[in-house]
Each structure stands twice: as structure tokens, then as C-alpha cells.
Amino acid sequence: MRDKIQALLDEARSALSEADTLQALEALRVQYLGKKGPLSLLLRGLGQLSAVDRPEAGKWINAARGEIESEFAARETDVKKAARLAALASETIDVTEPREDYQLGSLHPISIILDELVDLFVGMGYEVVEGPEVEYDLYNFELLNQPKHHPARDAQDTFYIEDNIVLRSHTSPVQARTMLSRKPPIRIISSGRCYRADEVDATHSPVFHQIEGLYIDKDVRMSDLKGTLEAFAKRIYGPDVSVRFRPSFFPFTEPSAEVDLTCPACKGALGGCRVCKGTGWVEVLGCGMVNPKVLELCGIDSGVYSGFAFGMGLERLAMQRFGIPDMRWLFEGDARLMGGRR
């Protein structure tokens, strides 16, 4: 019996020393320590021994079992450790290996322009304010001297949510909101999405962005407006840009003007330029002296205060500045605009 057990132990040890995976170990565990294994068989056979030999034999079997179990545990620790080391070795990162190619993103052209404008106007003492995109007719039209019969209120131009609620058609309602809630001096800019019921094409989109400026104080004059917009023009298009004011009409300003700048693409060289259609000028914004009627509607004494306002579309600026021929590119996540350097 003793020899048998010893032989079993030797056999188990040598099998163990060759097992180098957890699966192999488990198979050996079943083989040697399982219910049908040799030790269990020996235990079961104890009954056939004499009462004298039985306790001794039982002790041997149990000792052998204990030994095999502790050898299993030791081997299991070794196998696990080896597996961990192998995994570490195979997962080592070679930091000197050349990287795979990837693309950097970049700011959207509208964000680039907006950041620059905010920077410029904040530098001139303007404060950034925001207004809602779903707006009351009152602020979008009425207080801006665009009464009920005004053609710009036509549902073909403006999205109506209800009779007196619209998707703002410009950022100008923020002017009315600001004048009603603050006292002069007021110097604010506001930008954001605006909506008009336009068909989508290369120069129109039902959703677009504007930036609006408003300055109200004592003795604000047209010359202040010109100086401010010249600073703006030079910042956006460079120091050589020329600024041209053309008389225009807006219900909320009087007098009103539209402002053209030297074409950034051809620099005013008359020819076949696509950006300015050969005129040498690009139209960039609307502006004027705030209509005294608007000041009064918004609770500001037009006998004491005057002011100027301006508003412009960011899409047009971005298109002129970056030579983007189609407005749709700005809304379609075009990788040529959003991708950066490789």
C-alpha cells in the first residue's frame, strides 16, 4: 500500500511539473483528486483491510492527499504568475513606434469668425448678452418699429410658432430686450442662430447666424459708428481694407446704411472674381443710428440719448473670408472645413 501511494505521489508530481496552463492543472486535479481518482478509490477500498492496518493506511492516504493538494496550490501560483508575465510582455507599448495616421479637428469657420468678433468688441468695451431663439413678436418686430402690417412679418419670411411667437428672424430683438432692462450707457453685442423661411441654396439657409451690436449713450454719432466699423473691418480683413457706406433702409435705424468692404478675394482688382462678382466690393452688414422711435418704444429718452446699431450674418463673413463658395458646406459637417492638418 505504501509503495502504491508513493508511486502515485511521484506520478502526480511529475505530471504537475509539466502542466503549464490552468486548464491542464484543472484536468490533473480531476484526475488525481476527483471522486473517481486513485486516492478516492484507495479510501473506498479501506474496508477490505484488516482493522489493524486500516487506520495506518487511512493516514497515509490522507497525508498523500494533503501533499498533492499543496503541490497543486504551489503550481497554480506559478502558472498564474507566468501567465501574467507573458501578458505584460505581449502588451508592452513601444513608444518609439511611428503613430498611425489620424486627422486633427479644427474650429468651425463660424466659430472662428465669432471668436474674433467677440474678442474685438469686448476689447472696445462691449458686453456679450444673449437672447432667446423662440421670441415674441413684440421684441422681434413691434418694438423695432416693424408694426403689424410690415411686409417682413410675412409668414413666407418668418417662422411663426403662434400668432405672437416666432423663431427670431434676426438678432435685433436682443437690442429691444436690453434697452428695456438696462439704463444707458449701453454697449452690447449679441450673436446666435436666426431663422427665416428661405429655400436652401448656395447663399441661403433657413438657419443662419448673426451678430448684433448696440451702443447707446449721450452724443453718440454716425462718426462713432463709422470708426467702430472701420476697426471691425480691419480686424476681419486686414489693415488695407476700405469701408464703403451705402444709404439703405431698416425700420429700426434712421439714417440706415449698408456697409461694403474691399473684396477679400481679389482685393478690389476688378475682374472675374467669383466672391465679389467682379465689383471689387463685398456687402457685409446693415447698420444705422437707432431710430428715436425705437428708443422711445424701449423706454429711453430720445431727447437725451442717441445710439447706433449694426447687424451682420456670420455665414457670409465666413464664406468671404475663407473663400467658401456654398453656404451649405457650413451646415453639412464638411470635412474640408472641419478637418485640420494631418
Applying CB under 6 A, which residues contact ligand DAH?
Answer: 170, 172, 212, 250, 253, 286-288, 309-311
C-alpha 287, offset from chain centre: 32
Min CB(211)–ligand DAH separation in Å:
10
Residue number, 57 or 176, with CB nearest to ligand DAH: 176
Which CB atom, from 196 or from 321, has the smaller least distance to ligand DAH? 196
Contact 290, 305 (CB under 8 A): no
| Cβ contacts of 173 within 8 Å, gap of 6 or more | 131, 135, 136, 139, 140, 143, 144
In the complex, minimum distance from the CB of residue 212 to ligand DAH, in angstroms, rounded to a whole number? 5
Whole-angstrom distance, CA of residue 261 vs CA of residue 246: 11
Least Cβ distance, residue 285 to ligand DAH (angstroms): 7
Distance, in Å, from the CA atom of 209 to the CA atom of 203, rounded to the nearest integer, reads 13
Nine cell digits for residue 62: 490522507
Which residue do the cell numbers 505504501 mark? Answer: 2
Whole-angstrom distance, CA of residue 104 vs CA of residue 332? 18
> How crowded is residue 37: how many other Cβ atoms within 10 Å of its Cβ?
19
Nearest distance in Å: CB 210, ligand DAH = 6
Shortest Å distance, C-beta 181 to ligand DAH: 17
Instruction: Give the nearest residue (CB) to ligand DAH.
Output: 311
Cβ atoms 237, 113 nearer than 8 A: no
Nearer to ligand DAH, 253 or 320 (CB): 253
Q: Which residue's CB is nearer to ligand DAH, number 143 or number 309?
A: 309
Answer yes or no: are the C-beta atoms of 189 and 118 closer than 8 Å: yes
Strands 127-128 and 306-313: unpaired
Give the nearest distance from C-beta 290 to ligand DAH in angstroms.
7
Q: Which is nearer to ligand DAH, 121 or 250 (CB)?
A: 250
Nearer to ligand DAH among residue 37 and residue 137 (C-beta): 137
